[in-house]
Structure 1
Amino acid sequence: MHTGILANKTVLELGSMIAAPFATHILNQLGATVIKIEPPAGETTRKLVRGGPSGTYIAYNRGKQSICLDLQTDGGREIFRTLVEKADIVLHNLSPGAARKLGVTYENCMAINPSIVYCHIKGYGEGPLAEEVASNPIAEAATGVMYSNRIDGRPSRLGPSYHDQFAGCYAVIGILAALMAPEGTPERHIEFGLYETGLHIAARDLVGVQLKSQLLGRPEQEPSPEFSIPGYGAYETRDGRWIYLVMLTDEHWRKFCRAVPIEASDELATLRQRRRQRPQVEEIVGTAVRSLDYDGLAKKLSAEGVGFTEVLSLDRVLDAPQAQEPRKYSEFTFAEYGFEAPDFPLSYNVTQVRAAGSPPLLGEQTSALLKGIGYDDTQIRSFLDDGAAVTADQEASLWAKVSKPEPVTG
């Protein structure tokens, strides 16, 4: 059984990719029961890696229940209505057109259950683009993030889908606030866009450009700290590892000089001086780092209170003592493979929640959930025979296996 602040809440998720599944992942970690409603083909992330589930699906759908429904059939819609009657929260990131087509709009759900908390993560909020579809990279491009992030001069996405994940967090904030609001109030209808999420995230940089434009009399892009502050960035150590240094202030610089040690000359004492002599400072820092092995340098920097970390490849991240002591991830199996996935970081909430199980197979809990909401065996068999509902194929292989390479001879 779940415990935790949302232990008595049931969430219906009609989610795909990241934004909605990430939001319900957090709600599940806070104790809520999450029922993932999927179409017969499954949601998108079930088929992204060699025809099977991707890391996104495995990481953000563990601990949920999957019911597979065809909402374009009368039977599928009937089941959905019954689920909504008994649920507390509906959350999805379908396009506005798809939500109307499938009958899962706010108006549809409110007519079934007036006390429902309804959250729709859209591409765009209110405005001329409200009906358009948007994704994480579109939000990056439209809100200024992509313009400065270039590969060989070409604007490029960041890589991780941070806008999707921020939107998921905003959805959770909105849902928690709505649960505190009286039934029937507008606060229980939450609707916002990835675009508006991106605008809010970009506020610091947008305001920074405005400030510089007014101070300098011309628009100027606000660079990231590592492009504007010497000594701020990644440097290679003598043993071929990479260390990331944070030197924002003059005190940071003095601490680094004491740690290495090098002379903290008066000519480089202030950030303005160091910026004027950036190539010289970069050479000083790079040479100092290259003269030491990582472990020795780390010990010196830590003793002086310098901000740093090793730049780790993904396969090494969860081996770090900070990730393991206490353990900040859950271990579980899915198909025949074992996984370790980081948990929601508010540990005092998560530790009271049951250990998250594997992510569900497509339709794994369909029959059990149908029985739980009042359908008998004959009705369930009818839904399955008609294709309104689908159960999991327990024997199906999830991924196309990589064939073993032929042995090299001669």
Structure 2
Amino acid sequence: MNSGVLAGKTIVELGSMIAAPFATHILQQLGAEVIKIEPPGGETTRKLVRGGPSGSYLAFNRGKKSLCLDLQSEAGKEIFARLIARADIVVHNLSPSAARKLGATFADCDALNPDIIHCHIKGYGAGPLAEEVASNPIAEAATGVMFSNRQDGRPTRLGPSYHDQFAGCYAAIAVLTALLAGDRAKREITLGLYETGLHIAARDLLGVQLKTQILGRAETEPSAEFSIPGYGAYETRDGRWIYLVMLNDAHWSKFCTATGLPADPALAGLRDRRRARPQVEALVREAVAGFSYDALAERLGAQGVGFTEILSTDRVMEAPQAQAPGKASTFGFEALSFLGPDLPLPGLVRDEGLDGAPPLLGEDTEALLADLGYGPERIAALLQEGAALRADPGQELWARPRVKEATPG
């Protein structure tokens, strides 16, 4: 038995893409057994990279078990019912209509298991859009994030699906709260992606309300750097990028000392620097460009200036801090090796199984069916009729790039 705080708990996941799989990834790292139910074609992230599993699948499905079922078949529904009757928690992000069609609503699961904790991550919570479908970029667009994030003047989504992952975090919090409360009324959890977006945008939403009432007009920050000169990305002499955090006058003073900029009383105050923004930005760019990254980092570190190098994703896991014990686990998947970041709560996570690979589609189908009480002949029949599917270990997961043959001559 592992030492994770959720050891002994069984979670059934009907998840696709990120929100629900991310929630159960957290709960799995805390010690729970996660049984991932997938349709015959597998969930979406299994086929996003050259026809095979994507980074999302590899990152958020480590150590889970895969049970591949046709939930539209009567036999598939029977298997699902047996599983729910024995589970502790259900987490899914099906659309409301799909949840009803597949028999995965709270009412359906509660009828099978009166003690089940049921968490539904959906597009919208209660309200006029409750039946509508929403995804991560829709949540960004509807809650103000996308309006401020632009490329060439065009509103665009953020790179990572942060709203999905925030919703997954909130779902994990809700499940843990329900377990802690032991209150039957807390077993039905509904979480909207849109409402998640509202909550994480609260600072900006209240900030614009504040300025509207003080200034008499709506005013948002013109940039993600809060219009503070010296707060942002700058290029060093050797072509590397550094991010500086200069929020106040003390930060500015330390930066000037570190880089040798003369103390200018006219720029000592933040309001002064904001009024002289173009001048200050030019000073910072020139100062940074006068040093190699390593030389500047040494000077800034000595003065206590907040900074870091802006790393490309292929370099992130090479950093000494990322390589320190307890940060990530190595796991193999289809003859490939990966280093996956772990939940950053080392005192709470499981002490075994962190190096578990994501499952192949239906990899655990036969074992789980046997555990549910099906005999060998019935399992064979279920596989034969397509109500359940098992993994094909010989299937090539990713299409390999074609190697051009050298042209003679």
How would you bin the TM-score normalised by the shorter chain?
Answer: over 0.9
Aligned to 1:171: 171
Partners of 1:37 and 1:95 lie apart in 2 by 16
Alpha carbons 2:52, 2:397 under 8 Å: kept:
yes
1:363 aligns with 2:369: no
For the residue of structure 2 that corresponds to 1:138, the secondary structure is helix
1:7-406 equivalence runs, <5 A: 7-185=7-185, 187-350=186-349, 352-406=351-405
Letter of the aligned partner of 1:77 in structure 2?
K
Letter of the aligned partner of 1:277 in structure 2?
A
Letter of the aligned partner of 1:296 in structure 2?
A
Alpha carbons 1:181, 1:188 under 8 Å: kept:
no
Bigger drift between 286-295 and 321-330 goes to 321-330
Partners of 1:109 and 1:83 lie apart in 2 by 10
Alpha carbons 1:230, 1:282 under 8 Å: kept:
yes
Deviation track 1:383-403 (CA, whole Å, cap 9, x = no partner) reads 111111000011000011111
Structure 1 residues 6 and 327, CA gap change in structure 2 (3 angstroms): closer
Partners of 1:117 and 1:142 lie apart in 2 by 30
Deviation track 1:250-288 (CA, whole Å, cap 9, x = no partner) reads 111011111112112110011100000001101111111
Measure how far apart 1:225 and its partner are.
4.8
Deviation track 1:89-148 (CA, whole Å, cap 9, x = no partner) reads 000000000000000100000000000000000000000000000000000000000011
Alpha carbons 1:330, 1:343 under 8 Å: kept:
yes
Alpha carbons 1:65, 1:364 under 8 Å: kept:
yes
Partners of 2:407 and 2:164 lie apart in 1 by 45
Alpha carbons 2:122, 2:193 under 8 Å: kept:
yes
Partners of 2:263 and 2:407 lie apart in 1 by 57
Partners of 1:263 and 1:36 lie apart in 2 by 61
Letter of the aligned partner of 1:356 in structure 2?
D
Q: Percent identity?
A: 66
Partners of 1:147 and 1:408 lie apart in 2 by 51
Structure 1 residues 351 and 179, CA gap change in structure 2 (3 angstroms): closer
Aligned length: 409
Measure how far apart 1:70 and its partner are.
0.4
Partners of 1:273 and 1:109 lie apart in 2 by 62
Letter of the aligned partner of 1:200 in structure 2?
H
Deviation track 1:224-256 (CA, whole Å, cap 9, x = no partner) reads 452500000000001110000000011110111
Q: TM-score, normalised by structure 1?
A: 0.98
Measure how far apart 1:223 and its partner are.
3.6
Partners of 1:260 and 1:162 lie apart in 2 by 35
Alpha carbons 1:225, 1:232 under 8 Å: kept:
no
For the residue of structure 1 that corresponds to 2:36, the secondary structure is strand
* Structure 1 unmatched ranges of 5 or more: none
* Structure 2 unmatched ranges of 5 or more: none
Deviation track 1:322-351 (CA, whole Å, cap 9, x = no partner) reads 101225111111112111111111111226
Letter of the aligned partner of 1:220 in structure 2?
E
For the residue of structure 2 that corresponds to 1:90, the secondary structure is strand
Partners of 1:177 and 1:99 lie apart in 2 by 23
Partners of 2:88 and 2:210 lie apart in 1 by 45
Partners of 1:174 and 1:41 lie apart in 2 by 30
Letter of the aligned partner of 1:146 in structure 2?
M
Letter of the aligned partner of 1:90 in structure 2?
V
Partners of 1:356 and 1:80 lie apart in 2 by 28
Letter of the aligned partner of 1:389 in structure 2?
A
Partners of 1:166 and 1:223 lie apart in 2 by 25
Q: TM-score, normalised by structure 2?
A: 0.98
Deviation track 1:345-391 (CA, whole Å, cap 9, x = no partner) reads 11112262433311000000000001112111111112111111000
Structure 1 residues 405 and 313, CA gap change in structure 2 (3 angstroms): farther
Measure how far apart 1:407 and its partner are.
4.2
Measure how far apart 1:153 and its partner are.
1.4
For the residue of structure 2 that corresponds to 1:76, the secondary structure is helix
